[in-house]
Amino acid sequence: MGIIKKVEITIQDMNDDKTLLEVENVYSVLLAGGTGSRLWPVSRELYPKQLVKFIGDNSFVQLTIKRIEPLLDTENVRIICGSEHFHETAKHMKSIGIDPEGKIYCEPCGRNTAPAILYALLTILKKDTDPVLCIFPADHVIDNVDMFLDKLKSAIKLANSGYIVTFGITPHYPETGYGYVEGGNSVSEGALKLKRFVEKPNLSTAKTYLEAGKFYWNSGMFAFKASVMLEEFKTYQKEMIVRMGQIISAGEFPEKEAYEQLTDISIDHAIMEKTKKGVVLPSEFGWSDIGSWKSLYDFLPKDDDNNVIDGDVIAKDTKNSFIMGHKRLIATNHINNMIVVETRDSVFVSDIDNSRDVKSIVKKLKEKGRKEYRKHRKVNHPWGSTSLLEQKKDYQVSRIIIYPDALYEVKADAFSLKRLDILEGNAEVVTDNEKCLLAKGESTTISGNKQATVKNTGESNLYMIEIHISN
């Protein structure tokens, strides 16, 4: 999207600093589950917010890796994501120079953060003795990376001393959208003994937290030694650790049926609210979980009219607003405190303060069976991509891109046919053991319960139009 370059510049400056400490035997575990429905229509089930480039030229996953790269070895990066996001996550890692082989752990279904962290913990322990694990949500942003890395060093020291560290963000206003942690007596590295976790408060309670001090926003970031967290799971989540051990022993990829039996519970409820080893590390490095359009607007720098604008936008008498376009011109006139977000198939308009309610719209789309809640018109696949160009009652037109040497499967039934037109490249089409070669400008038709494979035989991408006609 290219909204802002500030974050990338900060990280680049730090990569040039050779004085940063290299920390060994530490794994960075990125939690990349969830769908980010409060950032619809850009974030969707098949393309969630952690894979979107909201800020500069990098996705949130890439930004999270780059943020820790000056301090931690990227060979020890591990990402936990849904199986449907594996290939796209791997592409994002490759594009910033990291080999994804063995670094992505796929969950067949989401079961919250406690099972995800345990999955990573047990898998890492199969290859390493007792490392420190640093847990980072892959969809958060941090403004002051220098300060963040300083706190990360302190967290690793505390973890090596046997503490389970949670990063607590110093609140500057009574936020009701975050959970809080309360700190107690001081320990080393500026940390406080963890007294309790509290759920998202109402406004009056949040104000009392702010006035009391020693209450911090729950960032969802942690650091601990593997052996320490393992003992806590054995103590407080005995059934989960037995089940997860069985799941991991059964094979590299967890079976969905077994994984669904795991308790759906956060690491906060499962361990952190019970452990006696928890500490909170007060932190103030410009953190945001980017959980809504408002939080993204709040994080980004504004123009002279206090707007955040990205895309082809003409804004007249527009103030205090967030306007984002992807493919079409957006023209606004005399609006204030508004969100306007355009994608190829959807437009979301809301006042900023109530923009979190988009989650209920996504729920309605899902109930109605609308595809817009789940995927964009363009969907990436391991073999290429499909882009829906037009859809009517009796036909559908899509643009297909197939990578070199990749295969695309085409199926037709007794009530439809599919016509394939080659726009660019060379294709080999195999149907019922019959083979034909197609070049630019040539076409073929698949019908009558037939199945075909289209192979890109060229050295560059194959571009093709697929027309699906219902009889």
Q: Which of residues 243, 273, 288 is at a domain's end?
A: 288
Per-residue pLDDT of the chain (471 residues; tens, 9 = 90+): 444 433 333 434 444 443 334 457 999 999 998 878 899 999 998 889 999 988 778 999 999 999 999 999 999 999 999 999 999 999 999 999 999 999 999 999 999 999 999 999 999 999 998 999 999 999 999 999 999 999 999 999 999 999 999 999 999 888 888 889 999 999 999 999 999 988 888 899 999 998 888 999 999 999 999 999 999 999 999 999 999 999 999 887 899 999 999 999 999 999 999 999 999 999 999 998 888 999 999 989 999 999 999 999 999 999 999 999 988 999 999 999 999 999 999 999 999 999 989 999 999 999 999 999 889 999 989 899 999 999 888 999 999 999 999 999 998 887 889 999 999 999 999 988 789 999 999 999 998 888 899 999 999 999 999 999 987
Q: Let me know if residue 369 belongs to a domain.
A: no
**CB burial of residue 262 (10 Å; 0-12, 13-18, 19+):** buried
CA distances from 300 to 138, 232, 295, 337 (A): 18, 39, 9, 15
CA distances from 223 to 33, 156, 189, 265 (A): 19, 6, 14, 19
Q: Which of residues 239, 254, 288 is at a domain's end?
A: 288
Closest Cα to residue 215, out of 175, 160, 255? Answer: 175
Q: Are residues 81 and 207 in the same domain?
A: yes
Q: Are residues 217 and 307 in the same domain?
A: no
Q: Are residues 271 and 321 in the same domain?
A: no
Query: CA–CA separation, 439 vs 138, rounded Å?
Result: 43
Q: Let me know if residue 393 belongs to a domain.
A: yes
Q: Are residues 284 and 298 in the same domain?
A: no
Structural domain boundaries enclosing 431: 381-470
The one-letter amino acid at 424: E
Q: Let me know if residue 392 belongs to a domain.
A: yes
**CATH value at residue 12:** 3.90.550.10
Task: Identify whether 201 is preceded by a cis peptide bond (ω within 30 of 0).
Answer: no
Q: Let me know if residue 371 belongs to a domain.
A: no
Q: Let me know if residue 216 belongs to a domain.
A: yes
Phi, psi values for residue 268, rounded to 5° = -60, -50
Q: Let me know if residue 91 belongs to a domain.
A: yes
Q: Which of residues 330, 364, 398 is at a domain's end?
A: 364
Q: Are residues 280 and 301 in the same domain?
A: no
Q: Are residues 319 and 404 in the same domain?
A: no
Q: Are residues 284 and 342 in the same domain?
A: no
Answering whether pTM is above 0.95, one says: no
Q: Are residues 268 and 304 in the same domain?
A: no
Q: Let me know if residue 372 belongs to a domain.
A: no
Q: How many domains does the chain have?
A: 3
